[in-house]
A and B are shown apart, each in its own frame.
Chain A
């Protein structure tokens, strides 16, 4: 019998032999006492070596200095490569704060306007993209109100309503012009439903393969001009008000030498904010015209059913899905929704009347290329505060786990806050008055569900934050602030505002945002914000403030 050589035996014991050879050695060892004993001796020596290592560890001098804080060094390294523009870092901070995915970051408008100047140094395409993005955010922040547009073409001038049913004009020529324009816009992939908006411009621009941008600062407004190499629309120009980035004017030049200029017609402030009034009741200009084209125009109640159906499949929480009601129909549109998700949404809406579902995939909705992400999304200089927090939590590792969980919670909280606010915008008191009792119950139920879910996330955040912040000087207000009961729509708005504030403070605390708030007061401010949020939600849901009043502490935890 050929015995196993000592090197082979060591490699066998170390698991370094190829499988076949190892099998042979194993079989041999089973058969051969001598080699097995040899292996045991080998293992003994290995054991001695391990003990020797431990002995050495005991007698070698310990490190002369404390170990560095490696997490701080990571951050310095993260901050070192070409710092991304301020705007980009700000967005990263907003993202870090857990803004709902599709919802806009509500960066304060004044800040936006001030910061736009930072972007001027960039290439026009970046300037245009950033400016449009900011304008879209700003538009999202405004409540969508119906408005009237003046549309001039080579031949004539017409007007039309946006975000409300279009009362058919008595002038057949105007109707024909509008129909022709709609066809032209559709052929050019330009959103006809909302032609004077940053979003529509952005969507068209994002779909272009080959384009050239120009951005000009005209003092009171910015002008973005994009020229396309291909497609029906040759050039589009959008002017944005420098103060609030509201679209002022748009000019589109088509390849067939047609051009269109769109401006908004100022609406008297007294105009009822009524998608409702126009759509559900008879349009004043031509009663019955809407009914002619659709057997029954979609009502506010139908819209509510659509929202409830979307809610059933969770599509009101972060999916890029929008619901609008116009021309007697309810349009459910989604951008960049995954195919499987589309099917679920379509299934959920299948039985509902007057619903048109439209999904699209603009190229710009794709995730950012990884290289770009890695360059930009890492925050810049962190305030020292989060380092103190990390220390408080017994190390960076714990801090980062906590941060990750808080980010998740905050994101979930904000998606509820956005959903609740959308409901409040869509169903103002005047709209509610048109709803049947059952619809009102459904509506209140949806709102309440969002508020309760928001409260759960906020409570979980508070449980994480209180023990971490109290030792850093954060004090929880002794009693919840008193919140005057409000109608549910303004209450929802206030809940949203407070949640945003909490989110922003949290971002500062986690070091994701450049700390606009002095670190010393931060823990208390954050806890006070959380308490206010809780008080608002409790009042909204009826846990507090409403009869029979509950003890303030009862709902606290």
Chain B
């Protein structure tokens, strides 16, 4: 039964509600502005084509808004966004299975660049070595590494990838060990 006789209560409620909605718009809007490029790039590293990656990234933030609108509590919205982006990204990849995954030819791009006098040739070589090493990581190691680079904690990474936090720790340890080896070569 609706008890809406009290206009005063209703108006106060409506003003509060309007504010709450505006706050939510602002909250999600701000995160979108801050994190959309990161999510987009993460999706590229998952192998999505740029257009798909952008579309998927946008979809993720709309889902975040819809979830918060329903009153669900999300403790770390950024982590939530990456988790959903990861799962959605994999689904898109699955759907587009026939299409070759997107890959950035960093090597060619770096080589085509005139050596930056500031960074120098050595620097470029080191970057390439690291890039190869990252490419050589296992898929799980690489995903753990990327998500860690986006600021997610072990349990959050674990939740995105469907593995335990200690497994995340182990994947990261191996990834870091391999990258260190490449770095010190």
A74 CB–B CB distance under 8 Å: yes
Interface centre among B2, B37, B145, B154 (most CB of A within 10 A): B2
Cα of A98 to Cα of B15 in the assembled complex, Å:
7
Q: Mark the stretch among B57-65, B82-90, B93-101 that contacts chain A.
A: B57-65
Q: Is A532 interfacial (CB-CB < 8 Å)?
A: no
Within the assembled complex, what's the spacing in Å between the Cα atoms of A404 and B53? Answer: 34
B106 touches A91 (CB 8 A): no
List A residues 258-297 near B (Cβ within 8 Å).
none
Asked if A56 and B104 sit within 8 Å, CB to CB, the answer is yes
A126 close to chain B: CB less than 8 A: yes
Contacting residues, chain A, for B165 (C-beta < 8 A): 16
A71 close to B11 (CB less than 8 A): no
A96 touches B14 (CB 8 A): yes
Tell me the chain B residues, 32-51 only, with Cβ under 8 Å from chain A.
32-33, 36-37, 40-41, 44-45, 50-51
Asked whether B71 is an interface residue with its Cβ less than 8 Å from the other chain, the reply is yes
Complex Cα spacing A126 to B3, Å: 8
Contact with B along A54-71 (1 / 0, CB 8 A): 011101110111011011
- Least CB distance from A460 to B in Å reads 18
Inside 8 A of A95's CB, which chain B residues have their CB? 10-12, 14-15, 18
Count A-B contacts at CB 8 Å.
221
Partner of A397, one of B29, B106, B154: B29
Name the one of B8, B22, B110, B130 contacting A102, with C-beta atoms under 8 angstroms: B8
Bound together, the chains give a CA A396 to CA B177 distance in angstroms of: 45
Q: Is the CB of B15 within 8 A of A407?
A: yes
Kindly state whether residue A411 has any CB partner on chain B within 8 Å: yes
Q: B154 to chain A: closest CB distance in Å?
A: 5
Complex Cα distance, B8 from A136, in Å, reads 11
In contact, A67 and B58 (Cβ under 8 angstroms) = yes
Contact of B66 among A77, A96, A366 (CB under 8 A): A77
Bound together, the chains give a CA A173 to CA B27 distance in angstroms of: 68
Given contacts A52-B134, A401-B26, contact A365 B19 (CB under 8 A): no
User: Is B131 located at the chain interface by the 8 A CB criterion?
Assistant: yes
- Given A7-B170, A16-B154, A50-B149 in contact, is the A411-B15 Cβ separation under 8 Å? yes
A396 to B69 Cα, complex, angstroms: 18
- Across the two chains, which residue of chain A brings its CB closest to B150? A53
Bound complex: CA A414 to CA B133 (Å): 66
Alpha-carbon separation in the docked complex, A126 to B5 (Å): 9
Give the secondary structure class of A's interface.
Answer: helix
- In the complex, A530 has a CB within 8 A of chain B: no
A49 at the interface (CB under 8 A from B): yes
User: Which residues on A sit within 8 Å (CB–CB) of B21?
Assistant: 78, 377-378
Q: Is B173 an interface residue (CB 8 A)?
A: yes
B106:A101 contact, CB within 8 angstroms: no
Q: How far is the CB of B51 from chain A (nearest CB, A)?
A: 5
Contact A92–B14 (Cβ < 8 Å): yes
> Is residue B81 within 8 Å, beta carbon to beta carbon, of the partner chain?
no
Give the size of the chain A interface in residues (CB under 8 angstroms).
Answer: 86
On whether the beta carbons of A52 and B54 are closer than 8 Å, the reply is: no
Interface 9-residue window, one of A39-47, A110-118, A349-357, A543-551: A39-47
Known: A95-B18, A364-B3. A73 touches B169 (CB 8 A): no
CA distance A112 to B57 in the complex (A): 45
Q: How far is the CA of A59 from the CA of B110 in the complex (A)?
A: 8
Interchain residue pairs with CB less than 8 A apart (17):
A7-B170, A7-B173, A42-B180, A57-B41, A59-B106, A59-B109, A59-B110, A60-B41, A63-B57, A126-B4, A206-B3, A206-B6, A335-B8, A336-B9, A364-B9, A373-B17, A374-B17
Residues of A within 8 A of B (CB): 6-7, 10-11, 14, 16, 41-42, 44-46, 48-53, 55-57, 59-61, 63-65, 67-68, 70-71, 73-74, 77-78, 91-92, 94-96, 98-99, 101-105, 125-126, 129-130, 132-133, 136-137, 202-203, 205-206, 320, 335-336, 362-368, 370, 372-374, 376-379, 395-397, 400-401, 403-404, 407, 411, 512
Binding site for A on B (CB under 8 A): 1-19, 21-22, 24-26, 28-30, 32-33, 36-37, 40-41, 44-45, 50-51, 53-54, 57-58, 61-62, 65-66, 69, 71, 104, 106, 109-110, 127, 130-131, 134, 145, 148-149, 153-154, 165, 169-170, 172-173, 176-177, 179-180, 183
